[in-house]
Amino acid sequence: MSTPPLLGTVDHATGEVHLERTLPAPVQDVWDALTDPARLHEWLAPVEQGSPADGAFVLRMGADETATCTVATWDPPNELRVTWDHTGEEPSELSVRLSQVDGATLLTLEHTQIAADPVQYGAGWHVHLDRLAARLFGVEGTAWGCDGEDFMAAYRALRPRYAATANGLDALLKHTPSRMK
């Protein structure tokens, strides 16, 4: 069985994550999913206070974790850039850009200046974007940040693949059974 390609890259040296996803919806619909607090709750996390349109908002990412987001760029429906201040971490920068491609939307997510382990962000954003795509396909649901068995199962499955990519080919070969080398 082959492993599907990663949708993102992680760079330990620079603390950066880059993901791209083609989503089955018009740009405006994806923009609304990124900026409407009720819709953020469907795929990312509950908004505890504020909203992206107000310039600042707080996401409940876990029982004891929040991400306080301060909007730096608000360019509807093309780009949203925020300072991402997650509990217990140094602030980082999150940028999401949208562009129309053949009746769908290309979403480009870049999370930079991550002082924590960028691998966890790569795998985490991958799972969140899977949820976003499912919502845009019409799958019902509510996201509770990084809590929940479904999120954790998907995250645990992806984390080693992102770690191997972040650490280079040597790390991947080290974790590959000898019959596969």
pLDDT over 80 (residue 3): no
Sheet holding 65-75, edge to edge: 8-11, 16-23, 104-112, 92-101, 79-86, 65-75, 56-62, 47-51
* Model confidence at 181: pLDDT above 80: no
- Model confidence at 144, pLDDT cuts 50, 70, 90, reads confident
At 130 the three-state DSSP class reads helix
Whether the upstream peptide bond of residue 52 has omega within 30° of 0, thus cis, is: no
DSSP 52: G
Of residues 138 and 98, the one with the higher pLDDT is: 98
Contacts of 65 (CB under 8 A, 6+ apart): 86, 87, 88, 145, 146
Relative orientation angle of helices 27-35 and 118-136, to the nearest 10 degrees: 120
Tens of pLDDT, residue by residue over 146-177, are: 988 899 999 999 999 999 887 654 344 344 44
Structural domain boundaries in the chain: 21-172
Q: What is the pLDDT of residues 93-127, one digit of tens each?
A: 999 999 999 999 999 999 999 999 999 999 999 99
Identify the CATH number of the domain defined by range 21-172. Answer: 3.30.530.20
Burial track 138-148 (b if 16+ CB lie within 10 A, e otherwise) = eeeeebbbbee
Phi, psi dihedral angles at 113 (to 5 degrees): 60, 35
